[in-house]
Structures are given as structure tokens and as C-alpha cells.
């Protein structure tokens, strides 16, 4: 690495804690689905800040909302009402099962709020939460404990008590794990970090049935699947299931840090003043960005176009699976969260494939040590999808030589 990118990388490595394996590029500009680095090289961004910039980079309506709000009011804390936060909560409740919303800054914080709400509703004797193997719920100690991937726990033990992990897709084992101390079941409708693994609808309906049978709360983590990513505003809308508590973040502010926990009024009543809080949660600027984002995603035809483009991408991935059966097993996902499932031979080359695509100016990542994950902005065009597929085909073909 040389030039401007190298200079920024060298400066960053001196002062930033090395918790990320960064690629050799310093991004300086974004527009739509295109990022530009410090040396002027362009990249087709099919990761969208990890499912965050769903309207693409620097969407004019979001930028205008942010600038307008920044000129009026940036922060006052949650000791006072603000117009953008209230407008955002109204939009979220109007378009979901929920009656009330708690605003946070991130997905992990939204999940922390959901965990605390589930426990306070159940009482001190019922504190256990069951999640699934392969899940990912955040990086705080509680959300890491809820995460069903041991690699995220290593070095941070002992984990907080009260969390257990049921095998993915096995209802019988899940029910056997329920005890008198269990208060909730937490799951993602589709596991993103776990390898773009959709949970079978019948299985999720079975989980909802177990919650009803055993008087448990059903918590849906829609941090990655929410805000239009699957082709509906929330994934639960396509499943015939309504959770008791749901968390969202990532795409909510199209790049500004904001998250939310949504629930029914009778459950929310357990969180009285002083039981939970967030200094920056629902910050006026972030909330204004979220209002602008939601208004666009809820516009006529937007979500239908996400489904259509998701099916178009899926069809292209399936063609690649047919052409490269030694490397690729197939495609899976919902809407515009898609994974190209690699064979055992392909998995060995997964990280290298991502690096080769980076070299071709296409950004994706490797998830769950199993799939190439595609999370493009929801505004991506079919022409840009074809560009992605063409680059991917070139990379896969190189392994046949």
C-alpha cells in the first residue's frame, strides 16, 4: 500500500485501537452506491456500512434533514421532549405492532433495553433468556452473552448469568431448555452475522407457540433485517408472527447512530422513570435523519422494489452456483440481504474472495465462515447488481484455472 491511503492508514494505526482488520483504503466520499477513497478510486459498495446506508451514501433528503436540524438544535438530553424524536416514535409505532419506543444509539444498546425490559416484566425470579446458536446480538457484555457464537466470548469470561443458547432450528431441544427461571426467547428472523441464515417460518411460529405456552416474552432482534432490508419494513411482517419486543438500529438513521426498542404499552409500563436511560438516545439530529429515511422507505413502491431487486440478485447467485458447483452451494436470504453459500472448498477461499473483490472495486464481506454476504443499499440498480455479479463471476472463475 502506498500513497494517500497508506498515509492515512499509518496515522490511524498509531492512534486507533486495533479492534478492526481494516482494508487498505481511507474512504473520503460517498454518493449513492459508490464510495471513493483518498486516492480517487471508486468502489461499488455492496455492504452499505454493514446494512446501515440503505438509501446509499449522502442521500440528499437525509443530508438536508441533518443539516437543517443541526442548525436548529443538536442536543438537550432526554430530560426534555424534542420534535424529531417524537415524530420518529410516531412513525415507528404507526407502522408496527408497537405502542411505545425507547431510543438508543446502537443495536447493542437497543438489545440491552430489550433484555432489561424482559427481566423487569418477569420479576426477579425469572431472568433467563434463551437465544440461538449462530446468533449475534451485540458487543456489550450482556449482548455478547446472548450471542450464540463462542468466538465472541473468548477472553471476556465469565459471561453474565442467565443466558443460554438453543441449537438452531430444533424446537424440541429449545422447549426442553425452558425452566421456571426463563422469561424470554430472543432471536433474529434471519441470522446475518451467523451466515445469512433465514429461520424457517414454521420454526419461528413454533417458537412463538412455546412463548405463549410457557408465558414467555418473544424478542425479535431486527437490527439487521429491519427498516426495509427484507422487502417489508420489518421482517416479522412476512412471517405471520408478532413479537412482544423488537429492536432496530443500523439502517434507521441511514448512517447516523440511532437504535430503538419497540414494544406494547402494557410491557413498556414496567420501565418507569429512573429504570433505564440514554444520554444521547434519540438525539435530535439522528432522529431527524431517521424520520427522513423512514419517509422515503415507506414511500409508494419502495419496498416492492427491494423485493424485486432481491429476487434479481438471488437469481444471479443461483446461476453462479450452477456454474461453479465445486465452490458454491447456492444462494439464500430475504430481500436485499443475501448470501452466496460456499462449499467446503469454497469456504477455504472465502476471505480471499472478498479481498479479490475489493481489488476489483466491489465491497462485500464473509459472514459466519460460510457465505459471501451482500448488503447493498436498497437503492441499488439492476445495472449495479449485474456489475457485482460480473465481478463475482470473474473471481470464482480464477479458482478454476
Alpha-carbon span 34 to 46, nearest angstrom: 9
Residue 349 and residue 281 share a domain: no
Question: What are phi and psi for residue 220, nearest 5 degrees?
Answer: -110, 120
Q: What is the pLDDT of residue 2?
A: 63
Decide: helix, strand or coil at residue 67.
helix
Residue 254 DSSP class: B
Please give the chain's pLDDT, 401 residues, in tens: 569 999 999 999 999 999 998 999 999 999 999 999 999 999 999 999 999 999 999 999 999 999 999 999 999 999 999 999 999 999 999 999 999 999 999 999 999 999 999 999 999 999 999 999 999 999 999 999 999 999 999 999 999 999 999 999 999 999 999 999 999 999 999 999 999 999 999 999 999 999 999 999 999 999 999 999 999 999 999 999 999 999 999 999 999 999 999 999 999 999 999 999 999 999 999 999 999 999 999 999 999 999 999 999 999 999 999 999 999 999 999 999 999 999 999 999 999 999 999 999 999 999 989 999 999 999 999 999 999 999 999 999 999 75
Please state the length of the chain: 401
Q: How many CB atoms lie within 10 A of CB 75?
A: 11
DSSP for 310-322 reads HHHHHHHHHHHHH
Task: Decide if 378 contacts 229 (C-beta within 8 A).
Answer: yes
Q: What is the pLDDT of residue 334?
A: 97
Residue 166 and residue 81 share a domain: yes
The answer to whether residue 64 sits within a structural domain is: no
Site of grid cell 439464500: 332
Alpha-carbon span 341 to 324, nearest angstrom: 12
Residue 131 and residue 53 share a domain: no
Alpha-carbon span 301 to 313, nearest angstrom: 18
Residue 305 and residue 287 share a domain: no
Note down the domain range covering 53. 3-59+301-398
Domain-ending residue, one of 246, 264, 297? 297
The answer to whether residue 67 sits within a structural domain is: no
Residue 279 and residue 138 share a domain: yes
The answer to whether residue 339 sits within a structural domain is: yes
Q: In Å, how far from its chain's centre is CA 147? A: 14
Alpha-carbon span 385 to 382, nearest angstrom: 5
Domain-ending residue, one of 297, 317, 335? 297
Task: Decide if 305 contacts 99 (C-beta within 8 A).
Answer: no
The answer to whether residue 43 sits within a structural domain is: yes
CA distances from 102 to 5, 146, 238 (A): 40, 20, 24
Decide: helix, strand or coil at residue 15.
helix
- C-alpha grid cell for residue 362? 466491489
Task: Decide if 221 contacts 137 (C-beta within 8 A).
Answer: yes
DSSP for 169-223 reads T-HHHHHHH--TTEEEEEE-SEETTTTSEEPPHHHHHHHHHHHHHHT-EEEEE-T
Alpha-carbon span 238 to 244, nearest angstrom: 16
Alpha-carbon span 158 to 171, nearest angstrom: 28
Look up the CATH number of the domain holding residue 394.
3.90.1150.10
Look up the CATH number of the domain holding residue 179.
3.40.640.10
Q: What is the pLDDT of residue 401?
A: 59
Q: What is the pLDDT of residue 400?
A: 76
Task: Using alpha carbons, select from 388, 366, 367 the residue that is nearest to residue 376.
Answer: 388
Task: Decide if 365 contacts 354 (C-beta within 8 A).
Answer: yes
CA-CA-CA-CA dihedral for 267, 174, 106, 239, to nearest 10: -80
Task: Decide if 197 contacts 163 (C-beta within 8 A).
Answer: no
Handedness of CA 178, 183, 188, 193 (dihedral sign): negative
Domains of the chain: total: 2
The answer to whether residue 389 sits within a structural domain is: yes
pTM of the model: 0.96
How far does the chain reach from its first CA to its final CA, in angstroms?
A: 27
The answer to whether residue 119 sits within a structural domain is: yes
For 174, residues 6+ apart whose C-beta sits below 8 A from its C-beta are 130, 166, 167, 185, 207, 210
Task: Using alpha carbons, select from 291, 329, 309 the residue that is nearest to residue 384.
Answer: 309
Instruction: Please tell me whether the peptide bond between 316 and the residue prior to it is cis, using omega within 30 degrees of 0.
Output: no
Query: Angle at Cα 143 formed by Cα 225 and Cα 162, nearest 5°?
Result: 125
Residue 349 and residue 207 share a domain: no
Amino acid at each position: 500500500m502506498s500513497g494517500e491511503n497508506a498515509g492515512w492508514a499509518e496515522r490511524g494505526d498509531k492512534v486507533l485501537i486495533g479492534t478492526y482488520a481494516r482494508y487498505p483504503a481511507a474512504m473520503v466520499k460517498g454518493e449513492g452506491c459508490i464510495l471513493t477513497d483518498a486516492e480517487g478510486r471508486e468502489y461499488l459498495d455492496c455492504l452499505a456500512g454493514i446494512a446501515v446506508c440503505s438509501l446509499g451514501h449522502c442521500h440528499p433528503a437525509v443530508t438536508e434533514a441533518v443539516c437543517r436540524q443541526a442548525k436548529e438544535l443538536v442536543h438537550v438530553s432526554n430530560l426534555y421532549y424534542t420534535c424529531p424524536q417524537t415524530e420518529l416514535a410516531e412513525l415507528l409505532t404507526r407502522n408496527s405492532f408497537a405502542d411505545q419506543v425507547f431510543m438508543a444509539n446502537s443495536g447493542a444498546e437497543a438489545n440491552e433495553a430489550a433484555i432489561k425490559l424482559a427481566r423487569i416484566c418477569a420479576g426477579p425470579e425469572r431472568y433467563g433468556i434463551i437465544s440461538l446458536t449462530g446468533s449475534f446480538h451485540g458487543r456489550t457484555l450482556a449482548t455478547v452473552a446472548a450471542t450464540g457464537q463462542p468466538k465472541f466470548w473468548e477472553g471476556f469470561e465469565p459471561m453474565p448469568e442467565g443466558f443460554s443458547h438453543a441449537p438452531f432450528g430444533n424446537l424440541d431441544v429449545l422447549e426442553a431448555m425452558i425452566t421456571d427461571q426463563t422469561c424470554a426467547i430472543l432471536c433474529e428472523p434471519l441470522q446475518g452475522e451467523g451466515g445469512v441464515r433465514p429461520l424457517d417460518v414454521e420454526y419461528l411460529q413454533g417458537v412463538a407457540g412455546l412463548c405463549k405456552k410457557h408465558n414467555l416474552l418473544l424478542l425479535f432482534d431486527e437490527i439487521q433485517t429491519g427498516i426495509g432490508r427484507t422487502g417489508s419494513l420489518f421482517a416479522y411482517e412476512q412471517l405471520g408472527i408478532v413479537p412482544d419486543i423488537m429492536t432496530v438500529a443500523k439502517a434507521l438513521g441511514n448512517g447516523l447512530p440511532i437504535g430503538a426498542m419497540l414494544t406494547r404499552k402494557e410491557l413498556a409500563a414496567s420501565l418507569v422513570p429512573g429504570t433505564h436511560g440514554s444520554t444521547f438516545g434519540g438525539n435530535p439530529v439522528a432522529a431527524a435523519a431517521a424520520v427522513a429515511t423512514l419517509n422515503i422507505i415507506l414511500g409508494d413502491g419502495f419496498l416492492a422494489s427491494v423485493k424485486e431487486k432481491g429476487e434479481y440478485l438471488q437469481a444471479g447467485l443461483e446461476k453462479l452456483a450452477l456454474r461453479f458447483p465445486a465452490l458454491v452451494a447456492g444462494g439464500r436470504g430475504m430481500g436485499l440481504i443475501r448470501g452466496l453459500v460456499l462449499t467446503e472448498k469454497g469456504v477455504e477461499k472465502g476471505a480471499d474472495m472478498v479481498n479479490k473483490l475489493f481489488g476489483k472495486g466491489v465491497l462485500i464481506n464473509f459472514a459466519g465462515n460460510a457465505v459471501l454476504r451482500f448488503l447493498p443499499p436498497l437503492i441499488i440498480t439492476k445495472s449495479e447488481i449485474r456489475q457485482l455479479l460480473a465481478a463475482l463471476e470473474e473471481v470464482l472463475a480464477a479458482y478454476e484455472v
